[in-house]
Amino acid sequence: MSVVEVRQAAKTYLMGQIKVTALKGVDLTVEGGEFMALAGPSGSGKTTLLNLIGGFEKPTSGSVRVKGTDLAATSADALASLRARQMGFVFQNFNLLPVLTALENVEYPLLLSDKFSASRHRDLARQALERVGLSGHLLHRPMEMSGGQRQRVAIARAIVVEPDIILADEPTANLDHTTGEEILRLMKDINRVSKTTFIFSTHDQKIMDMADRVVRLLDGAFVEGA
């Protein structure tokens, strides 16, 4: 079974009286273990598509299935559970909780999913941070870390629940090239070892080149790779 199945998904926004079409009815199938880049210029609909797959919003028409579950037919609470158990997220702005330490940030999603017993949470979080090379920064707050370190914490937070799929919206856009490539190599490594499916968006050619598959969006439609 495919991990993600997008069928004729369209999304239009209403800005006052004007209709903005962000996605024009796209089809996309992503298989388990893929390492896929979503490319396209600004405004092409990358974030919109990732939001639909993450269940953050519903398509205006068409359907999105994740591991067979039709997201449009799922309640908000059930979507939350699905995300907590089976999805990880990485954001352009890292989006760590500023009041929590690195370790607590990574522990947070464990509390939302019932996959692991509470007694293991601390250890799992520590292991995840070790995996991204931050065992020396467990008690640092986000404000005390560099952009690259913060994104590593975010990746640790995404992998700690051992999800089937990780969605990353421009994970390198706020980092310099070297750091961005390091982050991508880390993601690739996790993909190779744990068989976690990755879908990430970018408009950086070098980053795209590291992907196994590149899907290109333009004005809300696929022009390549779908």
Q: Which residues form the interface with other proteins (CB under 8 A)?
A: 47, 51, 54, 56-57, 76-77, 80-85, 87, 89, 91-93, 95, 97-100, 104, 107-109, 111-113, 157
Nearer to other proteins, 121 or 210 (CB): 121
Candidate ranges 45-53, 70-78, 131-139, 159-167; the one touching Mg ion (CB under 5 A): 45-53
How near is the Cβ of 100 to Mg ion at its closest, in Å? 26
20 interacts with, out of other proteins, Mg ion, ligand ATP, none, CB within 5 to 8 A per kind: ligand ATP
How near is the Cβ of 84 to other proteins at its closest, in Å? 3
How near is the Cβ of 174 to other proteins at its closest, in Å? 10
Nearer to ligand ATP, 40 or 62 (CB): 40
Nearer to ligand ATP, 14 or 193 (CB): 14
Q: 3-state SS of the chain? A: CCCEEEEEEEEEEEECCEEEEEEEEEEEEECCCCEEEEECCCCCCHHHHHHHHHCCCCCCEEEEEECCEEHHHCCHHHHHHHHHHHEEEECCCCCCCCCCCHHHHHHHHHHHCCCCCHHHHHHHHHHHHHHCCCHHHCCCCHHHCCHHHHHHHHHHHHHCCCCCEEEEECCCCCCCHHHHHHHHHHHHHHHHHHCCEEEEEECCHHHHHCCCEEEEEECCEEEECC
Nearer to other proteins, 71 or 210 (CB): 71
How near is the Cβ of 50 to Mg ion at its closest, in Å? 8
Candidate ranges 1-9, 40-48, 110-118, 120-128; the one touching Mg ion (CB under 5 A): 40-48
How near is the Cβ of 46 to Mg ion at its closest, in Å? 5
How many of the other CB atoms lie within 10 Å of CB of 167? 27
What six digits make up the tokens of 210? 């590291």
Binding site for Mg ion (CB under 5 A): 47
